[in-house]
C-alpha cells in the first residue's frame, strides 16, 4: 500500500503534463442507467476532448468483479470496482492491480414495490428476492443481512443484473432486489416512475454486517420521487488500472479526473463527489505510481 502524507485540499496548479502513449482506452463500466456507466461516459467525453491521442470506448459489464477480471486480463485499461469486491480477491489476484483514485461511495438499495406491504427486512420472509449477480459484493451483503434478520432460509432468491431486476419488479415477477449503486441510479428513477418503489431502512442491521469497507450512510428523500430517506450501507468505488499502465498515462488520466470534475458532473452528480483528500485512500490496492506523482506534484 502506498502511503502519501500530503496536504491535498483545494485546487492547485501543476507542472506541464508529461507525454503519454496514444491508442485505444477501453473503460469497463456497468449496466446502462447505473452510475458506473454514467461516470464512464462522462470520462469518455472528457478524454476525447482533452486527450485526443486516445480512443476511449466503454465496455458494459454486470459487476465490479467482471471489471477487475477485464483489467487483469488487459482487456480494459480502466475499471470501476467497489472496495469490498477488491478485498475479496486473493493477494495474488490483487498483485497486478492499482488505482488512480477513490471516486465516490455506492449505496445499498433494498428495493420493493411501494404498495407491497414490505416495510422492513424481516418482511421479506417467504418472498421472491434478487441478490444481484453471482459472486458479487451485493450478493455477499444480501446473504449476511437476511441471515441477520433470520429470514434467509425462507427467501426464494435468484441472481440478476440490475436492469433485469427492475423489469421483474415492475412486472410483479419478484418482490424485491438488492443493489449497490450511486445516488441517484437512473434505472431506479425510471422504475419509480412506472411502478413506485420503497427503499428498506437498514438502520437496525448496519452494525451487524458492516465490514472494514462499509460505512453507515443515508439515501436522502430527494434521491427518488416520493421515497423516504433511509439508512443503509455505503462502500467506496475505486478507479482500477493495471500496475503495468504507462506512468505518464496514469498521471494524465488522474489529472483529467480532477481538472474536468465539474464539467463531468453535468452527466451525473456522483462525479462531483471526487475529493482530493479521500481520493488517495484506496486500500487494499496501492495508488499507481503515475497517480502518486500527480498527487505529489499538485499538493498545496
3-state secondary structure 191-234: HHHHCCEEECCCCCCHHHHCCCCCEEEEECCCCCCCCCCEEEEE
Phi-psi label, residue 135: left if phi above 0, alpha if psi -120 to 50, beta otherwise = left
Per-10-residue mean pLDDT of the chain, 300 residues long, equals: 37 59 96 95 96 96 96 98 96 98 97 95 97 91 95 95 95 96 94 96 92 93 94 97 97 96 96 95 97 89
pLDDT computed for residue 1 by the predictor: 37
Return d(Cα 244, Cα 73) in angstroms, integer: 12
Cell of 209: 454486517
Strand (E) or helix (H) holding 247: helix 247-259
pTM of the full structure: 0.90
pLDDT computed for residue 15 by the predictor: 53
Return d(Cα 268, Cα 185) in angstroms, integer: 9
Amino acid at each position: 500500500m502506498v502511503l502519501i502524507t500530503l496536504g491535498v485540499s483545494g485546487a492547485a496548479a501543476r507542472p506541464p503534463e508529461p507525454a503519454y502513449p496514444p491508442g485505444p482506452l477501453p473503460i469497463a463500466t456497468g449496466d446502462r442507467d447505473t452510475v458506473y456507466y454514467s461516470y464512464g461516459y462522462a470520462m469518455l467525453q472528457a478524454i476525447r476532448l482533452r486527450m485526443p491521442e486516445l480512443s476511449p470506448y466503454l465496455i458494459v459489464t454486470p459487476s465490479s468483479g467482471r471489471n477487475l477480471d477485464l483489467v487483469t486480463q488487459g482487456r480494459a485499461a480502466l475499471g470501476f470496482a467497489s472496495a469490498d469486491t477488491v478485498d475479496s480477491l486473493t493477494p495474488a489476484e490483487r498483485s497486478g492491480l492499482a488505482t488512480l483514485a477513490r471516486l465516490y461511495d455506492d449505496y445499498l438499495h433494498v428495493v420493493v414495490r411501494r404498495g407491497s406491504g414490505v416495510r422492513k427486512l424481516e418482511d421479506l420472509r417467504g418472498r421472491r428476492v434478487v441478490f444481484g449477480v453471482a459472486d458479487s459484493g451485493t450478493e455477499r451483503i444480501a446473504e449476511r443481512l437476511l441471515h441477520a434478520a433470520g429470514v434467509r432460509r425462507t427467501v426464494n432468491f435468484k441472481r440478476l443484473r440490475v436492469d433485469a431486476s427492475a423489469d421483474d419488479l415492475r412486472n410483479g415477477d419478484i418482490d424485491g432486489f438488492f443493489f449497490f449503486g450511486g445516488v441517484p441510479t437512473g434505472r431506479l428513477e425510471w422504475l419509480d416512475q412506472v411502478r413506485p418503489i420503497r427503499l428498506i431502512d437498514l438502520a437496525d442491521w448496519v452494525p451487524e454486517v458492516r465490514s472494514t469497507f462499509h460505512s453507515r450512510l443515508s439515501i436522502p428523500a430527494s434521491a427518488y420521487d416520493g421515497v423516504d430517506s433511509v439508512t443503509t450501507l455505503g462502500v467506496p468505488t475505486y478507479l482500477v488500472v493495471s500496475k503495468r499502465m504507462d506512468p505518464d498515462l496514469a498521471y494524465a488520466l488522474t489529472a483529467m479526473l480532477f481538472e474536468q470534475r465539474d464539467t463531468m458532473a453535468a452527466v451525473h452528480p456522483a462525479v462531483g463527489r471526487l475529493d482530493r483528500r479521500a481520493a488517495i485512500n484506496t486500500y487494499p490496492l496501492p495508488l499507481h505510481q503515475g497517480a502518486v506523482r500527480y498527487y505529489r506534484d499538485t499538493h498545496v
